C-alpha cells in the first residue's frame, strides 16, 4: 500500500509538523490524523473534524484532488515532466509526493512515505530546496549540473536557522541547496548507521525553465538498515485506530 503524509507549517513558530496520513487501499483511500495534529494551532480539515476517526473513501479526498493540476491544463504535463513521472498510468500519490502538492493559499505539503525496495534499499526523490536563495557562485554551478551527476551530503549542525539542516553539494564542493526539512531526520539517522558504508545521491532531472523550487530533482538511495524505521518522530504516529463510515 502506498502512503503519503500531510505536513503543515505553523505560522507562529515556522516549524513543520506531520498532521495526517493518506493510504491507498484495495478499495479506495484511508485518511487518518497523526499525533502532530494535536498542535494547538492546527485546525482539522472540513468534514473530517474528528481527530480520533479514520476516514475511508472510494475516491481521492478533495483535499488532495485540489492539489493536483487538472489534466486538461498545459501545466499538468509540465509538472509530470519536471517530476520525471511517466504520463502513462501515473500514480496521483507519486505526483503529490514528489511535487509537494503546494498551494499559494495555505501552508501544507505532501510527502511520500519511504518504502523499502525489493533490493532492500531506502529510496526517496525530492526537489532541492533553497535554490532561489543561492549566491552567484552556487547559482552558476546549478546551471552547469548534469543529469546523473553525483552529489554529496553535508550536515550543517551550526546552521543558525536549522541545526538539523542537510546541505547538498557538488563533487567540487559547491553548495547547490538543501534537502527538504522533513527528510533531514531520516538522512541523518541513516548516515549515522554503523552498517551503512555508502549512499548514492544523484541528479535525476534538470528543469531550466521551471520555477526555482522545481529546478533540480534528486534521488537518494542507500541500504535499508535492519530494524530502521523511517520518519522517526512521535508526530508521525497514528492518532487513533478507530474507524469512520466512508465519505
Q: What is the pLDDT of residue 243?
A: 53
Look at residue 161 in the predicted model and tell me its pLDDT: 81
The DSSP code for 109 is: E
Give the residue extent of every domain in the chain: 3-113+232-236, 121-223
DSSP 118: T
Closest CA to 217 of 123, 98, 116: 98
- The hierarchical CATH code for the domain 121-223 is 3.30.70.2330
- pLDDT tens for 83-142 read 999 888 788 999 999 889 888 777 899 999 887 877 889 999 999 999 999 999 999 999
Q: What is the largest CA-CA distance in the chain?
A: 56
Q: Which residue has the cell 487513533?
A: 240
Q: How many CB atoms lie within 10 A of CB 29?
A: 20
Q: What's the pLDDT score for residue 148? A: 97
Query: Which residue ranges in the chain fall short of pLDDT 70?
Result: 241-247
- Residue 4: predicted pLDDT: 94
Cβ count within 10 A of residue 136: 7
Measure Cα distances from 234 to 57, 179, 189, 231, 238 in Å: 26, 21, 15, 9, 9
Residue 90: predicted pLDDT: 82
For residue 242, the model assigns a pLDDT of 54
Amino acid at each position: 500500500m502506498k502512503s503519503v503524509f500531510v505536513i503543515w507549517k505553523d505560522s507562529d513558530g515556522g516549524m513543520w509538523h506531520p498532521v495526517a496520513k493518506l493510504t491507498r487501499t484495495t478499495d479506495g483511500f484511508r485518511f487518518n490524523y497523526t499525533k502532530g495534529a494535536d498542535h494547538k494551532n492546527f485546525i482539522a480539515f472540513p468534514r473530517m473534524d474528528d481527530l480520533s476517526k479514520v476516514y475511508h473513501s472510494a475516491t481521492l479526498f478533495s483535499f488532495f484532488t485540489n492539489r493536483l493540476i487538472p489534466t486538461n491544463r498545459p501545466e499538468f504535463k509540465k509538472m509530470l515532466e519536471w517530476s520525471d513521472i511517466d504520463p502513462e498510468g501515473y500514480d496521483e500519490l507519486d505526483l503529490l509526493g514528489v511535487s509537494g502538492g503546494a498551494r499559494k493559499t495555505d501552508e501544507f505539503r505532501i510527502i511520500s512515505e519511504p518504502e523499502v525496495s525489493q533490493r532492500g534499499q531506502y529510496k526517496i526523490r525530492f526537489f532541492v530546496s533553497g535554490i532561489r536563495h543561492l549566491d552567484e557562485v552556487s547559482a552558476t554551478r546549478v546551471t552547469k549540473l548534469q543529469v546523473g551527476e553525483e552529489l554529496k551530503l553535508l550536515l550543517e549542525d551550526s546552521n543558525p536557522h536549522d541545526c538539523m539542516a542537510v546541505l547538498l553539494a557538488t563533487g567540487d564542493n559547491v553548495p547547490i541547496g538543501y534537502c527538504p526539512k522533513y527528510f533531514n531526520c531520516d538522512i541523518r539517522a541513516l548516515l549515522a548507521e554503523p552498517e551503512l558504508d555508502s549512499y548514492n545521491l544523484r541528479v535525476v532531472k534538470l528543469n531550466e525553465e521551471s520555477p526555482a523550487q522545481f529546478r533540480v530533482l534528486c534521488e537518494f538511495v542507500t541500504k535499508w538498515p535492519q530494524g530502521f524505521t523511517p520518519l522517526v518522530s512521535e508526530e508521525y504516529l497514528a492518532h487513533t485506530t478507530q474507524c469512520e463510515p466512508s465519505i
